[in-house]
């Protein structure tokens, strides 16, 4: 699974790992905002690595949780779906809007292997200081470079370099970001 090789999705060991993640996700999602220590403890138990001063607003959905690392100072808004069949690495100071999906699983196009429940996965890497607007979907195997902004609703199917603004489906670079150039009032992301 981690190596990107095909695997059978209903393997009993994977099912046990998914059940563990489901129980921990339920605990995190049920924790009150008035209990930040309890919320952090539940998230720490669920995820592979959690940096300092990270805020994740529930609900959060994951496959396993243990394949997800989140850098310091990152904010993840409501409704994130992080399908971590392969590793998901989220850098420091990242801003993730509501209902963002980071999707590592892949499935065969051919009907017979798909019917037999074969899957594979490719990792996702989000660089430091990236901003993913609301509803962004990041597809398997994608890397997004540091400081990049992805506009609301974009579908990222290929790597994006550092210091750019990308929008659309499929996401395409519309301009470079230079220090001091961007202002909050003309931002493409939400």
> Would you say 184 and 165 are in contact if contact means Cβ atoms under 8 Å apart?
no
Active-site option among 57, 61, 107, 175 = 107
Helices (H), 34-181: 36-46, 111-115
Any idea what the Cα angle at residue 107 is, between residues 103 and 113, rounded to 5°?
160
Report the alpha-carbon distance of residue 35 to residue 40 in Å, rounded: 9
Report the alpha-carbon distance of residue 118 to residue 63 in Å, rounded: 16
What does the chain come to in residues? 190
Residue 54 annotated in active site: no
Q: Which residues are part of the catalytic machinery?
A: 107
């Amino acid at each position: 699974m981690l190596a990107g090789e095909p695997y059978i999705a209903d393997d009993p060991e994977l099912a046990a790992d998914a059940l563990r993640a489901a129980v921990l996700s339920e605990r995190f999602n049920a924790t009150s905002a008035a209990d930040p220590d309890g919320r952090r403890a539940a998230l720490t138990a669920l995820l592979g690595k959690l940096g300092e001063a990270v805020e994740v607003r529930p609900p959060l959905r994951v496959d396993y949780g243990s394949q997800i690392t989140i850098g310091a100072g990152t904010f993840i808004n409501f409704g994130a779906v992080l399908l971590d069949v392969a590793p998901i690495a989220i850098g420091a100071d990242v801003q993730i809007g509501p209902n963002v999906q980071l999707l590592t699983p892949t499935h065969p196009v051919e009907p017979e292997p798909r019917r037999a429940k074969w899957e594979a996965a490719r990792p996702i890497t989000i660089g430091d200081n990236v901003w993913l607007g609301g509803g962004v979907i990041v597809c398997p195997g994608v890397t997004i470079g540091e400081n990049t902004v992805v506009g609301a609703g974009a579908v990222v199917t290929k790597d994006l370099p550092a210091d750019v603004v990308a929008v659309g489906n499929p996401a395409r670079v519309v301009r470079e970001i230079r220090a001091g150039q961007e202002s909050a009032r003309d931002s493409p992301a939400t």
